[in-house]
Structure 1
Amino acid sequence: RLREEAERAAADPNVGQPTEFEVGTAAALTYFAQAAVDVAVVEVGLGGRLDATNAVEPVVSVITPIGLDHTRVLGNTLAEIAAEKAGIIKPGVPVVCALQAPEARDVIAAKAKELGAPLYLAGRDFEGRLLSAGQEGTRFAVRWRDRWLEGLQVPLLGPHQAGNGAVAVAAVQLLSEAGFPVSEDALRRGLAAVRWPGRMELYPGKPALLFDGAHNAEGAQVLAEGIRALFPGQRPVFVLGMLDEKPIDAMLRILLPLGQAAVFTAARVGRGTPADPGDLARRAQGLVPSVGVERDPLAAVELARRWAGPDGLVCVSGSLYLVGELQGLLAGELRGARE
């Protein structure tokens, strides 16, 4: 049936050929309906206002931190990008909004007011408080309305997970109020079991491997803060590959001063044009003591391991495509590191 609908849309000049993402979204929503799921968590692909997922009528909408990303499509300012993100807000449907830069927050607040959507802002209506952050995970507390939930824990790394956790808790509380009750015990167990592949994901070893798909300046800043907090005094060897549309120089300025060396490579899969590793190496001069180029991602990791030594740290970042490709190539080894 999906094929028939896609072919019908493609033949209609007023609709046009559906994209891969649009067909995938339709397939997912069809599957959810057939499986009669109680709740579906549907993440926007790009932006929000014109995204295929925006056909969904939500119970709760969630807007996470907004940065300068996909600027060729979404706009060149935080306000422009926020306007696209705010396109998911529906009349009367509550919105949970993470901490934002003022120009992004103001756009979201104006849209929520226009549509009569109750807005719950981080820092005003709810907040997260970091209790501890280590290589085993993050502990935090969340204030929702006039009550604090203490001692929450996620196995995800980085101080920023307290803010992410607070957004998740706020969304769950609103879901409960909308008729989908989630007990505090279930909330705690869900947080404790969460997994986020490729985001501050650490694999023990000699050296240890840290995978993080940061691909914009804001993501690079979060990664840098995580490295400082979790690996004090340690200078990683970076393996970096990026798309040429990304804010490359800003990311290099944020990450490379933390490292002892960087090896540049390029993912062999994914959309977009990868930045040339040799060009990245030239742009990195003066930001890090040693620079290498290995166009094969696996060879780049091996070189980084040699430079880091058995007690060091290798950090793979710059692109989710690169992180995904290398985790696939190293799958057997990474499983062994976790066992």
Structure 2
Amino acid sequence: MISTYNEARSWIHGRLQFGIKPGLERMSWMLEKLGSPHKQLKAIHIAGTNGKGSTLSYLREMLCAGGYTVGTFTSPYIETFNERISVNGKPIRDEELVHLVNEVKGVVESLNETNFGEATEFEVITVMAFYYFGKVNKQDFVIFEAGLGGRLDSTNVLNPIATIITNIGFDHMNILGNTIKEIAGEKAGIIKRNIPLFTAVEQKDALDVIQQKAKAENASVYVLERDFYTSSLEAEELSERFQFSGFDIVLSDVKLSMLGAHQVKNAALALAALLYLKKTGLLNIEGNKIYEGLKRTAWLGRFEQISQNPLIFLDGAHNIQGIESLVSTVKRHYKEYSIHVVFSCLKDKEATELVTRLEEIATSIIFTTFDFPRADNPEHIAAESQHSSKVIEMDFKKAIEKGKQNLTKGKDLLLITGSLYFISEVRNYLLS
């Protein structure tokens, strides 16, 4: 029996040694032993290369504004481990985590005696989330974010009421494949029989793969800018403004607090799923509550302003698609500013491409690292840089202080970006 929060976390993290093992057999076995809690949920399942967390947040906030209770499962965490399992945006309590560990521990450990082998850390956390929302604290809706890919991701035992694929880009290619078509095939694995899919995927090759899978499953597909639309995009100082149309509804003058044209796409996806479910009678929500939910949506570590004076932003742009969106957002909202960058990424990322794109906006760039087994060496990353004002600083805290020293005039901005694990460390440091 585990009695403390630290013991519970240690037990969960002890599963890290079993690495990443794609496949659903272990999940199905454990959940069956626990009474199949995943079958009790009114769930929305989200996959995609980028934008999963933001899309989830828009959906959650609109549903909450409409009076519904909403459970969410996300990864990785930014502030606290518990936030991976949250209700109405609030992480579960420490004692709830301890209770969950004790509920699933016996089943997880008995899996060792089968041919399926040890459960991974991510599988254990996913099982805990299913058990929590299915048995302990039932919600009106739950939204699950796929961890890696979709087809063999441990969340893919769900039978949802809707699926969303945000976009397709090059990430985790060692597991998901080297081409857009291969990666799309993995993401399309979340499509279920007769369940509607909403997507903002743009590449024809990827969309073809997704539509073939949907056709095989008799699932309706709704595509951004084909079946529902955004228009009249305006970049305001602290917001994005646009119009949405689709599902026999036009919403004018929609405002988002999260900046970037990519956030308009994420919000449109969430809107499409919500309005479809409203149209089919699965939920009821008033128009003013939709506006309210979208406007108040925020997501930690996604172009998040952490300080006004000095002006500091954090962004977990950990792959090429994320960096492109970040660069676009900076150009869109802060084109008159000098941008001073602090950057760190993981070893499995294409550092050359990431750095090249960042250099488009960087007045100066500091390469650093943090205490994480997969963190890349800043000297290795800096070797990819052609920037005339680049610095290597092994201590990320000193790197941030050096970055702040570069902010000498009113139109200076410090942008700290890279791995989400890095942003989590930085955020905790800056706020403490």
Tell me how far apart the structure 2 counterparts of residues 113 and 227 of structure 1 sit (CA, whole Å).
39
Tell me how far apart the structure 2 counterparts of residues 162 and 129 of structure 1 sit (CA, whole Å).
10
Distance 1:135 1:27, change over 3 A: farther
How far did 1:234 drift? 1.6
Q: Count matched residues.
A: 327
Corresponding residue for 1:290?
A: 389
- Equivalent runs, 1:180-195 vs 2, <5 Å: 180-195=283-298
Corresponding residue for 2:263?
A: 161
Tell me how far apart the structure 1 counterparts of residues 236 and 415 of structure 2 sit (CA, whole Å).
17
Confirm or deny that 1:301 pairs with 2:375: no
Map Cα deviations across residues 262-311 of structure 1 (whole Å, 9 max, x no partner): 00111213xx6222101212211x2x221111111111110111123253
TM-score by length of 1: 0.93
Corresponding residue for 2:422?
A: 322
Map Cα deviations across residues 177-229 of structure 1 (whole Å, 9 max, x no partner): 25122322222221112111111112343331111111111111111110101
* SS of the residue 1:330 aligns to: helix
Moved more, 197-206 or 65-74: 197-206
Corresponding residue for 1:335?
A: none
* SS of the residue 1:123 aligns to: coil
Structure 1: any 5+ residue segments left out of the alignment?
333-339
Corresponding residue for 1:109?
A: 211
- Structure 1 consecutive aligned stretches of length 4 or more whose deviation exceeds 6 Å: none
Structure 2: any 5+ residue segments left out of the alignment?
1-102
Paired AA for residue 98 in structure 1: A
Residues 206 and 309, structure 1, Cα contact 8 Å, conserved in 2: no
Corresponding residue for 2:324?
A: 221
RMSD: 1.4
Corresponding residue for 2:151?
A: 49
* SS of the residue 2:194 aligns to: coil
Moved more, 202-211 or 319-328: 202-211
* SS of the residue 2:129 aligns to: helix
Residues 130 and 159, structure 1, Cα contact 8 Å, conserved in 2: no
Distance 1:64 1:195, change over 3 A: same
Confirm or deny that 1:25 pairs with 2:126: yes
Tell me how far apart the structure 1 counterparts of residues 409 and 401 of structure 2 sit (CA, whole Å).
12
Tell me how far apart the structure 1 counterparts of residues 171 and 272 of structure 2 sit (CA, whole Å).
25
How far did 1:130 drift? 4.6
Tell me how far apart the structure 2 counterparts of residues 50 and 330 of structure 1 sit (CA, whole Å).
37
If asked which structure has higher relative contact order (CA below 8 Å, sep 6+), I would say 2
Aligned counterpart for 1:121 among listed residues 198, 202, 223: 223
* SS of the residue 1:211 aligns to: strand
Confirm or deny that 1:198 pairs with 2:198: no
Tell me how far apart the structure 1 counterparts of residues 281 and 127 of structure 2 sit (CA, whole Å).
25
Tell me how far apart the structure 1 counterparts of residues 344 and 123 of structure 2 sit (CA, whole Å).
28
Distance 1:323 1:130, change over 3 A: farther
Tell me how far apart the structure 1 counterparts of residues 176 and 109 of structure 2 sit (CA, whole Å).
28
Map Cα deviations across residues 232-283 of structure 1 (whole Å, 9 max, x no partner): 12221110001121111111111113111100111213xx622210121221
Distance 1:216 1:319, change over 3 A: same
Tell me how far apart the structure 1 counterparts of residues 148 and 324 of structure 2 sit (CA, whole Å).
21
Tell me how far apart the structure 1 counterparts of residues 106 and 281 of structure 2 sit (CA, whole Å).
36
Corresponding residue for 2:163?
A: 61
Map Cα deviations across residues 110-150 of structure 1 (whole Å, 9 max, x no partner): 10011100110111101222532234221221111343211
TM-score by length of 2: 0.73
Residues 197 and 222, structure 2, Cα contact 8 Å, conserved in 1: yes
Paired AA for residue 122 in structure 1: L
Residues 198 and 269, structure 2, Cα contact 8 Å, conserved in 1: yes
Paired AA for residue 2 in structure 1: V
Confirm or deny that 1:87 pairs with 2:189: yes
